[in-house]
Amino acid sequence: MNLEGLAAIVTGGASGLGGATAEMLGSRGVKVTVLDLQEEAGKQKAEAIGGLFVRTDVTSESSVRDALGTAERHHGVARLLVNCAGIAPAMKTVGREYATHPLDPFRKAVEINLIGTFNVLSQFAAALAQAEPLGEERGVIVNTASVAAYDGQVGQAAYAASKGGVVALTLPVARDLAQHLIRVVTIAPGIFWTPMLAGLPQAAQDSLGTQVPHPSRLGRPEEYADLVAAIIANPMLNGETIRLDGAIRMAPR
């Protein structure tokens, strides 16, 4: 698929993995629409890559519908979707003094990471399915899970469950959309440098990096974006979750 002139949607595209992906696509001539709740950062990112920003709540059907409509009016039917919007709460199942894990943060993680991913991809696919094919396919969807889907650590029950759901939906959604010539692939990153980690002291960041067998460092958002590009370029990649983690297998803590 020749990227030049195509339209793309990147959720969570204001920063981190989504931001690097938006930059990569923009540098290859793609018309990118950034969907994010971070209005100032989202506008800055879109301006930097010559794209469009639309403030969007991925958990809301109407917000996503409006955002995709705005993107199509400006850029035409999007052929590429990269879902990076997400949160990473940390809370033990039973806390101090035997406190129960409250349901609201668990529900919020599932709502944003899993339901939000499906909300965007399903509406995106419904519009794309009506477009003319480009050769043997209409477009590509890339979702973001996490190695926590497989190696969830202490305090990651909500996060791991939500990301495990993203892994689990990958194959059935790819099978659903095969008749529409739309591919679906998920990336499960390991420990990557993101705004969530940026607040940690450098010593803590370095310590996390040494847990990775090789290369012994934090992953770079640009490396995630490189894999997105490779997935788009290879039409036989479909229905699979790819770990991007430097061979790490997370310890319990």
Q: What interhelical angle do 39-49 and 16-27 show, nearest 10? A: 20
Task: Give the residue among 86, 221, 219, 100 at the shortest CA–CA distance from 159.
Answer: 86
98 has catalytic annotation: no
SS3 (DSSP) at 13: coil
Interatomic CA distance for residues 249 and 191, integer angstroms: 10
Burial status of residue 91 (CB atoms within 10 A of its CB: 0-12, 13-18, 19 or more): middle
CA 136 vs. chain centroid, Å, equals 25
Interatomic CA distance for residues 89 and 148, integer angstroms: 12
Indicate the pairing of strand 52-55 with strand 182-189.
Answer: unpaired
Interatomic CA distance for residues 29 and 11, integer angstroms: 18
At residue 252, what is the residue type?
P
Interatomic CA distance for residues 243 and 149, integer angstroms: 10
CB-CB neighbours of 130 under 10 Å? 9
Catalytic residue among 98, 150, 159, 224: 159
The catalytic residue positions are 159
